[in-house]
Amino acid sequence: MKHVCTLILALFCAFPLRALEPAQGPVLLTVTGAISVTNAEGRADFDRAMLESLDWQEVTTYSEFFTGPERLAGPTLSSLLRVLGATGRSMQAHAVDDYMIEIPVSDADRYDVIVALDRGGEPMRIRNKGPIWLIYPTSDPNGPGELHSSRMVWQLIHLHVVP
């Protein structure tokens, strides 16, 4: 047991969680719940620049929500959760219109989920499903399937990580 504790302490010291700077621009996403890194009382607020600094990916994907392939870009959900030291089993994803769905944290890596900010090379706005759209990328022209389509939350504003 002593060796395990020593190893955990050594890893924590070698890879400490960075402090999260406060958002400088308009807050696009707030994350609460089972996270160990915050920049406000009990939460982490992200502006666009902060999200752009994460593991940015550009994907061409299909969905029932658009015709033909679409090019979307944004950070990976897994990089967002990693930066926050998230330890939950699921997330509640909340949209502007009060839509909410619970998503397994494991989906982030399993399906390479993207926190899309750009569509077709342009920042998304509220009127076109932005400013954030949670995307389950797929190369299948029929889309990601009904289950994952229900988890593709557009106008995303809040994630709550459930322990």
Q: Which two tokens stand for residue 77?
A: 């959900």
Give domain limits for the chain.
Answer: 20-162
Positions of E strands within 38-155: 44-46, 56-61, 70-75, 90-95, 100-104, 114-116, 118-119, 122-123, 133-135
139-144 contact pairs (CB < 8 A, 24+): 139/61, 139/62, 140/62, 141/62, 141/69, 142/62, 143/62, 143/63, 143/64, 143/65, 144/61, 144/62, 144/63, 144/111
Which pLDDT value is given to residue 18? 59
Residues 6+ apart with CB under 8 A from 132: 28, 29, 51, 74, 115, 116, 117, 124, 154, 155, 156, 157
> How much is the pLDDT for 35?
98
| CA–CA gap between residue 132 and residue 39 (Å, rounded) | 20
Please state which of the four CATH numbers 3.90.420.10, 3.30.9.10, 3.40.50.300, 3.40.630.10 is assigned to the domain occupying 20-162. Answer: 3.90.420.10
Average pLDDT, 10 consecutive residues per value, the chain (163 residues): 43 53 97 97 97 97 88 98 97 97 96 97 93 92 78 96 96
Whole-number pLDDT of residue 45: 98
The confidence score (pLDDT) of residue 145 equals 76
The confidence score (pLDDT) of residue 4 equals 42
